[in-house]
Structure 1
Amino acid sequence: MALLDKIIDKTAKIGVIGLGYVGLPLAVEKAKAGYTVLGFDIQKEKVDKVNKGINYIGDVVNEELEEFVKDGFISATDDYDRIEECDCIMICVPTPLNKFKQPDLSFVEDSTNEIAKRLKPEKLIVLESTTYPGTTEEVILPILESTGLKVGKDFYLAFSPERVDPGNLIYKTKNTPKVVGGVTEKCTLHAKSLYERVLNAGVFTVSSPKEAEMSKILENTFRIVNIGLINEMAVLARKMGINIWQVIDAAATKPFGFMPFYPGPGVGGHCIPIDPFYLTYKAREFDYHTRLIELAGEINDYMPEYVIERLMDILNEKKKCLNGSKILMLGVSYKNDIDDLRESPALKVLELLEKKGAQVKIHDPYIEEFSHNGGIFKTSPLTEDLIKESDAVIITTAHKKVDYDFVAKNTDIIFDTKNATKDIRNNYPDKIHLL
C-alpha cells in the first residue's frame, strides 16, 4: 500500500525520535488521532517511564498516556533497529547552542544517521527541531540520499517547526496551527496529510523547508527583540522614576499598533534565548551581521546583573550589605506555573547572588530539587520562619501558587522582578520594590 493511503486510513505507524517537551505531547496527539506510535529516546529512564504509562511532561495528561500505553497505541524503545517498523518518522531532538552560541546539530545528525541505516522506500521523515534555515536540505537530505534513495520519489522529507508553549492553558499541540515545508510538492503533501489528521488546527504550507525553518526563527526573534526593548525601557524608566508596569498597561489600552511585552530578570526557555542565534550563525555565511538580534541578546543577558544591582541598592537603603545577607528566591523555573528550568534567568540570578556572598534559599512550588553547575539544590517549603529569617525576598518567577500577601506580612523587603505583587502592592508600599 502507498504511504499516502496508509496516512489517510491511519494504518501508518508513527515513529517519534526524542521524547521530551516536544516529542511526548506529539506522540500522544498522534495516538489520540488513531495512529500507533513508537517513541525513541537514548535516555532509558524516559523509555521505561513511557512503557509504564508514567508521565513526566506537564502538557501531557497522565491518564491519557496511561490509557494509550495500556491499549498499545504508544510504546517506547532505545533500539533504533525498530525504525524499520515505522512509516513516518518525526525528529524531535534538542538543538542547543554551544558556549560560542553556535548551533549544535549533533542530535539531529545522529538521529538522521540512524534513520539512513534503515531507510526504505515509502517513508516520511519530518524534522520538528528548531534550527537555522537550510538544515533540512543541507544537513539531513544528503545523509538520507547517501543511501541511494531519492527524495520525492523513494522517500519524503519535510520540516514542520514545533510550537510548544509549556504551561499555556489555551494552546496545546492539538490546537496550534502547523507550518509545513517539504523538499518537493509530494513531500509537502504527505506531511500536510499527516498533520491534518492529527491536529484540530490549520496546516499552512510553504514552498520549501527553508521558509518553514525561517518562520520559526522569525516568531522567536520577534519576541526576543521586543523583550529586549521592554527590558531596556524598564531600566530607563527606573532611572526616571517611572513605573514601567503602569506604562505597559496604559499603552496596552490602544486597540491597534501595540502588543504588550513585559520586563523581567532575563529570558528563559527552550526557544527565545536560543532560536534567534541560529539565524545569526547562518547569516555569517551570507556576510550579514544581524545587529538587532545580537543587541537584544546583549540587553536580555544583562538583566540578571541589573537585578543584582537593584537588590544591592534596595539593601543599602536599609543599611544592609548583600554579602552575607540571607536572600529568599521565589521561583526558579523560567516561567510561571511550570517546572521547566531550561535557560532560566533565575539560575543566573542565583549564580550572581552566591558569587556576591549571599546566603540563598529557594522556594518553588513546582520544583523540589534540581541540579545546576554540578551542584544539587533543594527548595524549601514557604514557612513563616523561612520568610522572617531572610533579609530580602526576591521574586524571580511569578508562580500563582505563592501567597504573596503572606510573604509581604512576614518580611521587610520584597524585590518583585515580575510584577507578581500587583494585587497587593498598595497594601505594602514601603516593602515592595519593583524592577
Structure 2
Amino acid sequence: MMKNVDKFNITMKNKGKNRLKQTVCVIGMGYVGLPLAVQSALSGFRVFGLENDRKKIKKINSGKSPIKEDFLENNLPKVNPNTNPKTGSEKNNNRKTKSSISSTNISSKDSAKIGVGVKIEATADAKVIKKSDIVLVCVPTPVDEKYYPDLSPVKKAVTSIVKNFKKGQLVVIESTVNPGVCEEVVEPIFAKAGYKVGKDYYLAHCPERINPGDANWNVVNIPRVVGAFSKKGLSLAVKFYKKILDAEIYPMKSIREAEAVKIVENSFRDVNIAFVNELAKSFDRMNIDIDDVIRGASTKPFAFMPHFPGCGVGGHCIPVDPYYLIERAKASGFDHEFLKIARKINNSMPEYTVNILQHSLNSIKMPMKGTPIGILGISYKANVADLRESPVFKILEHLQKHDADVIMFDPHVPHMSDVKNIEELLRKSKAVILVTDHDEFKKLDPSIFKKYSIKAIVDGKNCLDKDAIQKYGIIYRGIGR
C-alpha cells in the first residue's frame, strides 16, 4: 500500500544507476489511451497497454502507430524502437540497446513478440494490471440505438482491475461518463470484491480531452481537471498528471463535479452548433449567407463565440455526451429539454443536406434515382481517419432512400473509398456532396468541377469557393449559404 505521495517519484538510485520505479497500465489503446501511454513512457514510466486488437498490439510493440496522428507517429518510435524481437537488433542497425521491459512479461498468445528497448508493452493479458501501480481506464463510452448510455466497456475494464487487484493502486477513469458513475457504478464493483476506496486503492476521474488531428493541442499541453474520492487519491492523481503533462492540472472539489465537466464542455458545443444549424436552415429561406454573418459577428471582441453549421455533428464526444447528461438528469427527476432539442436539430442535418441536393437536382430536372453522387470525405473530421459517428453514414442512408448511385472517396480512409483519387470520383459523378473539409478538398481549384461536368455541389462544410464555382455555371449550395 502507498505510504506517501513521494512514492510517485519516477526514478530511484540503485547501485549508481537509475531504474524505473512506477508502472502504468493503460486499458484501451485508442485515440485516448495510446497518447497517454506514449507520454507516460516518455516521462520515464514503465507502461503496459491493455488491448484486445491483435493487429494493434503488434503495431504498437514494433513502434508503429495504428492511428494516423502526428504526436503518435513522431513519438511512438522513440519509446518503442523498431527492433527485431528475435535478436533485439534495431532495423538496419546492429547496435544493441538496453531493455527497460523484458519481452518475457507478455504471456498472452494474442500479444506480439517485442524487441529490446521497448517501453510500452502492448498486450491482451489482463494480468499486467497486477504489476501496475497506476491504472488508466480509456475505453469507449457509446450510446445504443436508442441513445441510452452504454457503460458496459467501463464495467468490463473495472472488473478486470478487480480480478487482477494490486493493493494501493491508483485507478483513474479517463473515459467520459455521466455524473455519478464513479460513485454508483465503479466503486460498488470494488466494494463487492471487498476492496475499500481510500484504503485498499485510490479512485480518481480525469476526463479525457483529446482533440484528434489538432496540431496545436495534444495530450501534452491540454489542461486537465481531476476529481477523486479522497484527498490522498486527489493528491496522487494530480501528482501523476503533473509528472507526465506540461499543462495546468485543476483539482476539482469532488469526483462527481469532475465527471460533470466533460459533459458540460461537449453539451455546450452541441447546443451552439445546433443554434447555428437552425440559423442556417432559416437563412437558406432568406437568401442570407450565414458564413458571412458569423464572421461579421465575430468582429465583436467580447460575448460572442463563433460556431459554424455543417452537414452533421460527428466524433465520439459531441453527439454522444449530451445523452449522458440527459439520462442522468432524467433519473434525478429533471428533463433537459434544451439539450434534447439541440440533439434533434443536429441529428437532422444529414437529411437536410440530402434534401438540399435533391432540390438542386430538381431545379435542372435531374432525378436523384440513378444519378451518380460523389461523396468527398468519410471521416467525421478534417485530416483524420476517425469514423466514429461520422455524418456520412446517415447521409448514405438518405441517399439510398432515393436510389442514388453513390461513389465515395477519402484520402484518409482508403479502405472505404470506392475510387483511388478525386479525379476518378469526379469523372464518375454528376453531383457532389462534400462531407469532410480535408485540406486536399479545400485546396481544389474550382475549375476541376467544370472539367468533369459536375452539375451540382452541396458543400457540407462551407469550405469551397462559392463564387468561383458558380461562375462556371455549376449549382453551389452550402449549409446556410
**Coarse TM-score class (shorter-chain normalised):** over 0.9
- Structure 1 equivalent of residue 470 of structure 2: 428
Kindly report which structure 2 residues correspond to 1:2-401, keeping only aligned pairs within 5 A, or say none. Answer: 2=3, 4-10=5-11, 11-59=21-69, 60-70=71-81, 71-370=117-416, 378-383=418-423, 386-401=425-440
- From 443, 448, 465, give the equivalent of 1:407: 448
- Kept in 1: contact 2:10–2:44 (CA 8 A): no
1:254-277 per-residue CA deviation (whole Å, 9 max, x = no partner) reads 111111111111110010000010
Q: CA distance change for structure 1 residues 317 and 380 in 2, over 3 Å: closer, same or farther? A: farther
Q: CA distance change for structure 1 residues 321 and 4 in 2, over 3 Å: closer, same or farther? A: same
- Kept in 1: contact 2:229–2:254 (CA 8 A): yes
1:302-321 per-residue CA deviation (whole Å, 9 max, x = no partner) reads 11111111101100111101
- Structure 1 equivalent of residue 88 of structure 2: none
Deviation at 1:369, TM superposition (A): 1.5
The farther-off stretch of 216-225 and 143-152 is 143-152
Deviation at 1:179, TM superposition (A): 0.5
Identity %: 40
- Kept in 1: contact 2:419–2:425 (CA 8 A): no
Q: Provide the C-alpha distance between the structure 2 equivalents of 1:414 and 1:2, rounded to a whole number of angstroms.
A: 65
Q: CA distance change for structure 1 residues 260 and 185 in 2, over 3 Å: closer, same or farther? A: same
The farther-off stretch of 412-421 and 212-221 is 412-421
Q: Provide the C-alpha distance between the structure 2 equivalents of 1:327 and 1:251, rounded to a whole number of angstroms.
A: 35
Deviation at 1:63, TM superposition (A): 4.4
Does the residue aligned with 1:154 lie in a helix, a strand or coil?
coil
1:342-401 per-residue CA deviation (whole Å, 9 max, x = no partner) reads 00011211221122111111121111123xxxxxx6344111x54244211111111111
Number of aligned positions between the proteins: 427
Q: Provide the C-alpha distance between the structure 2 equivalents of 1:61 and 1:305, rounded to a whole number of angstroms.
A: 36
- Kept in 2: contact 1:394–1:415 (CA 8 A): yes
Q: CA distance change for structure 1 residues 63 and 248 in 2, over 3 Å: closer, same or farther? A: closer
1:55-113 per-residue CA deviation (whole Å, 9 max, x = no partner) reads 11233432421231232311111111121110000000011101111111111111111
- Kept in 2: contact 1:95–1:104 (CA 8 A): yes
- Kept in 1: contact 2:350–2:394 (CA 8 A): yes
- Kept in 2: contact 1:3–1:12 (CA 8 A): no
Deviation at 1:122, TM superposition (A): 1.4
Deviation at 1:412, TM superposition (A): 3.0
- From 415, 418, 421, give the equivalent of 2:461: 418
Q: Provide the C-alpha distance between the structure 1 equivalents of 2:419 and 2:190, rounded to a whole number of angstroms.
A: 46
Q: CA distance change for structure 1 residues 382 and 152 in 2, over 3 Å: closer, same or farther? A: same
Q: Provide the C-alpha distance between the structure 2 equivalents of 1:32 and 1:4, rounded to a whole number of angstroms.
A: 21
The farther-off stretch of 390-399 and 127-136 is 390-399
Gapped runs of 5+ residues in structure 2?
Answer: 12-20, 82-116
Structure 2: which amino acid aligns with 1:115?
Answer: I
Gapped runs of 5+ residues in structure 1?
Answer: 371-376
Q: Provide the C-alpha distance between the structure 1 equivalents of 2:408 and 2:448, rounded to a whole number of angstroms.
A: 13
- Structure 2 equivalent of residue 374 of structure 1: none
Deviation at 1:3, TM superposition (A): 6.4
| CA RMSD, 1 decimal | 1.5
Higher Rg of the two aligned structures: 2
Q: Provide the C-alpha distance between the structure 1 equivalents of 2:204 and 2:153, rounded to a whole number of angstroms.
A: 17
Q: Provide the C-alpha distance between the structure 2 equivalents of 1:63 and 1:158, rounded to a whole number of angstroms.
A: 30
Structure 2: which amino acid aligns with 1:382?
Answer: I
- Kept in 2: contact 1:362–1:380 (CA 8 A): no
Q: Provide the C-alpha distance between the structure 2 equivalents of 1:348 and 1:145, rounded to a whole number of angstroms.
A: 42
Give the TM-score taking structure 2 as reference length: 0.86
Structure 1: which amino acid aligns with 2:457?
Answer: I
Q: CA distance change for structure 1 residues 393 and 21 in 2, over 3 Å: closer, same or farther? A: same
The farther-off stretch of 142-151 and 121-130 is 142-151
Deviation at 1:427, TM superposition (A): 5.5
Structure 1: which amino acid aligns with 2:45?
Answer: Y
Does the residue aligned with 2:397 lie in a helix, a strand or coil?
helix
Q: Provide the C-alpha distance between the structure 1 equivalents of 2:356 and 2:74, rounded to a whole number of angstroms.
A: 45
Q: Provide the C-alpha distance between the structure 1 equivalents of 2:344 and 2:469, rounded to a whole number of angstroms.
A: 36
Deviation at 1:419, TM superposition (A): 1.3
Does the residue aligned with 1:342 lie in a helix, a strand or coil?
coil
- Kept in 1: contact 2:228–2:234 (CA 8 A): yes
Does the residue aligned with 2:232 lie in a helix, a strand or coil?
helix
The farther-off stretch of 70-79 and 14-23 is 70-79
1:167-225 per-residue CA deviation (whole Å, 9 max, x = no partner) reads 11110010000100001111100000000011010000111111011000000000000
The farther-off stretch of 403-412 and 71-80 is 403-412
The farther-off stretch of 308-317 and 69-78 is 69-78
Structure 2: which amino acid aligns with 1:392?
Answer: A
